[in-house]
Amino acid sequence: MTSISAKLQAVRRRIDAAARAAGRDPAGVSLLAVSKTWPADDVRTAAAAGQRAFGENYVQEGCAKAAELAPLGLAWHFIGPLQSNKTRPVAEAFDWVHSVDRLKIAERLSAQRPAAKGPLAVCLQVNVSGEATKSGCAPADAPALAHAVAALPNLRLRGLMCIPEPSDDAAAQRAPFRELRALYERLQGEGLALDTLSMGMSHDLEAAIAEGATLVRVGTAIFGEREKA
Ligand SMILES: *Cc1c(COP(=O)(O)O)cnc(C)c1O
């Protein structure tokens, strides 16, 4: 079995190669290690290998790991579907939320964010064509939602996120990423100071980087295959 640190290195090499192939600076693509379902000890191992940012999908599990590993000073990103009755622990324990898809969730996160922690960084999840989940706002609704979220006091709108349907075809992988990037550039053109395009996972990070991803969310390629839920 390959160690977590060896797999992390391999993922970093993939990111570097994809960025160079796209004529981009590899430093412009950050790696979020998705540790959902894996124990805190695996996060420790990845942290010891230099990884600082971790993604979690489930509120209880993510909050427990963030609390246990607080002394390590890691950054925690919530990337899963978020129900409105679960926003408080997320607003308190996480540094980022990538899955904001309606104003009610954003308003609650802003109201519940502890002042001492500073603004919560958020991305809007957009249901671009070929999206794998039913979550995410419709692309047509994204501009109004983005401007409303950007106006909330305790959030900082950083960008957009999507989760396309897995595909083995490179062109099919790139189409939804291109659509998200176009929306991102449109919102920047409307004056929103966005710096994060959260797209690309273990199987399609090259396609996402080719289309401008600034953050890729990688689980399986670092920690191994998860048990099917
Ligand atoms: C699980 C998950 C990932 C990581 O997926 P892998 O295929 O394991 O790399 C990325 N983003 C989100 C939103 C996820 O739920």
Q: How far apart are CA 216 and CA 189, in angstroms?
A: 23
Q: Which amino acid is at 5?
A: S
Predicted TM-score (pTM) above 0.95? yes
Mean pLDDT value across residues 4-33: 98
Q: What is the C-alpha to C-alpha distance for residues 146 and 159, in angstroms, rounded to an integer?
A: 9
Start-to-end C-alpha separation, the chain: 23
| pLDDT over 80 (residue 132) | no
Q: Does residue 139 register a pLDDT over 70?
A: yes
Ligand 1 centroid–CA 43 distance in Å is 15
Q: With 60 as the cut, is the pLDDT of residue 229 above it?
A: no
**Would you place residue 2 in the very low, low, confident or very high pLDDT band (cuts 50, 70, 90)?**
confident
Instruction: Give residue 34 CA to ligand 1 midpoint distance, Å.
Output: 6
Q: What residue ranges in the chain does DSSP mark as E strands?
A: 30-34, 53-56, 75-78, 96-100, 120-125, 155-161, 196-198, 215-218
Question: What DSSP character marks residue 131?
Answer: B
In a domain, 217, yes or no: yes
Mutation to probe ligand 1, out of 173, 201, 204, 227 (largest number of atoms < 8 A from CB): 201
Atom of ligand 1 nearest to the CA of 57: 15
Q: Residue 202 CA: which ligand 1 atom is closest?
A: 9
Question: Is residue 47 within 8 Å of residue 223, measured between CB atoms?
Answer: no
Residue 42 sits in which domain range?
Answer: 3-222
Given a cut of 80, whether residue 182 has pLDDT beyond it is yes
Q: Read off the pLDDT of residues 203-226 as tens digits, 9 standing for 90 and up.
A: 999 999 999 999 999 999 999 999
Q: Is 1's pLDDT higher than 60?
A: no
Contact 177, 199 (CB under 8 A): yes
Cα 117 to averaged position of ligand 1 atoms, centre (Å): 26
Residue 227 in domain: no
What is the band of 117 on the pLDDT scale with cuts at 50, 70, 90?
Answer: very high
Residue 60 CA to ligand 1 center (angstroms) comes to 18
* Beta-bridge partners for 194: none
The ligand 1 atom nearest the CA atom of 166: 7
Which residue's alpha carbon is nearest to atom 11 within ligand 1?
217
Q: Which residues line ligand 1 (CB under 6 A)?
A: 34, 36, 57, 79-80, 163, 201-203, 217-221
Domain count, the chain: 1
Residue 229 lies inside a defined structural domain of this protein: no
Residue 227 is predicted with a pLDDT of 87
> Would you say residue 185 has pLDDT above 90?
yes
Atom index in ligand 1 nearest the CA of residue 203 equals: 7
Tell me whether residue 47 is in a domain: yes
**Residue 165 located in a structural domain:** yes
Answer whether residue 130 shows pLDDT above 70.
no
Give tens-digit pLDDT for 53-112: 999 999 999 999 999 999 999 999 999 999 999 999 999 999 999 999 999 999 999 999
Q: 87: domain CATH number?
A: 3.20.20.10
Q: Which atom of ligand 1 is nearest to the CA of 34?
A: 4
pLDDT score of 169 more than 70:
yes
Q: What's the CA gap between 112 and 92, in Å, rounded? A: 7
pLDDT at 134: 79
Task: With respect to residue 228, please indicate whether it lies within any of the assigned structural domains.
Answer: no
Distance 35 CA to ligand 1 centre (A): 9
From CA 9, how far away is CA 14, in angstroms rounded?
9
Residue 139 lies in a domain: yes
In a domain, 103, yes or no: yes
Please give the DSSP secondary-structure letter assigned to residue 186: H
